[in-house]
Amino acid sequence: MRELTYVDALSEGLVQAMEADDGIFVTGIAVDYPSGIFGSTVEAARRFGPSRVFDAPAMENALTGIAIGAAAMGKRPVVVHPRNDFMFLAFDQMINLAAKWKYMYGSHAGSVPIVVRGVIGRGWGQGATHSQSLQSVLAHFPGLQVVMPALPQDAKGLTIAALTGDAPTVILEHRSLYPIAGPVDQAFAPTPIGKAAVVRDGTDVSVVASSYMVVEAMRAAESLEQDGVSVEVVDLRSIRPLDEETILASVRKTGCLIVADTSWVLYGVASEVAALVAEKAFHSLKAPVYRIGLADSPAPVSQPLEDAFYPKASTIAKAALTLLGRTHSHLGDIDLADEFKGPY
């Protein structure tokens, strides 16, 4: 395998899918700009031109409705949002039409294989409306698939899976992942949707994580290994459908569970995973489940407050030590500074 960055892996998956299916087109704000959604749509725009990769005005609800109509007529639209917060304006189309299509019309109206990409991540001073992470909201509704690739290989593989399947699918991409490099298969091969991955084996604590929290969990695990703590990291990859089997198998092995998500703790993915384990693996637990996510407030604009707002590798490491009844006074500085400056 070659090493590719996350953003180049996204781009390669999109381009290969467009080569294989001339019904795929890409639209959204700035998809054909030189910056091309952090570079992820630049090659597709260069390769396929404005007939298949074209900019759209800020008309999220109408654009999504048009894309759903195109999907019903046999096309495969990809609608891209530079920030997933803009997706709120399209929720009526996504939730009341795309998600319910097969339930309302059965086999009489085909399928609507629309793919919606949204960038999530920290706000770097933009505050409450450009920093949200909408996976739990979207995954609440039957009919929508929601995936959150954390590794470059899955950024490509889940893009291919979304663009070759029949279900409406949302791909949420954390902007802090774009520059991260990793091995990526050159082949046109999907990552199965609904299947989590054990990305690090361990025996003492399970960390079930989503998106960028997988990277933070891996950094925490490396630090804890020096102190004799063995952490197993499970990358959810798919929020809906959820891979219950892999989560439960890990908890039954370690007996301790931390769930780390990029969104709020209350009513979120972490709560869903905790409830699953309470229902189906309660007697395997040696300690209460520990949930890690955002505090119960919107993201602050103040940089010092924002630095404190987002959980980090040290948050996970301290939680693991707490579950095991150990002190964390020996932990060094394992957190990376966020140097992202925008524009989105």
Environment class of residue 287 by beta-carbon count within 10 Å: exposed (0-12), middle (13-18) or buried (19+)?
middle
- At residue 49, what is the residue type? G
- Rounded alpha-carbon distances, angstroms, from residue 225 to 34, 306, 321: 43, 29, 12
Environment class of residue 88 by beta-carbon count within 10 Å: exposed (0-12), middle (13-18) or buried (19+)?
middle
Whether residue 155 contacts residue 10, with contact meaning beta carbons closer than 8 Å, is answered with yes
Whether residue 52 contacts residue 26, with contact meaning beta carbons closer than 8 Å, is answered with yes
Q: Where are the alpha helices (DSSP H) in the chain?
A: 6-20, 36-39, 42-48, 60-72, 91-93, 101-105, 135-139, 152-164, 212-225, 244-254, 269-280, 303-309, 313-323
| Bridge partner list, 147 | 171, 238
How far apart, in whole angstroms, are the C-alpha atoms of residue 53 and residue 192?
A: 26
How far apart, in whole angstroms, are the C-alpha atoms of residue 114 and residue 338?
A: 33
- Rounded alpha-carbon distances, angstroms, from residue 91 to 28, 96, 120, 264, 314: 15, 8, 16, 19, 35
Largest CA distance in the chain: 63
Q: Is the peptide bond before 77 cis (omega within 30 degrees of 0)?
A: no
Which residue among 12, 81, 130, 232 is the active-site one? 130
Which residue among 12, 60, 173, 216 is the active-site one? 60
Active site residue 225: no
For 281, residues 6+ apart whose C-beta sits below 8 A from its C-beta are 248, 251, 252
- At residue 122, what is the residue type? R
How far, in whole angstroms, is CA 120 from its chain's centroid?
A: 8
State the CB neighbour count (10 A cutoff) for residue 79: 27
Active site residue 130: yes
Q: Which residues are catalytic?
A: 60, 130
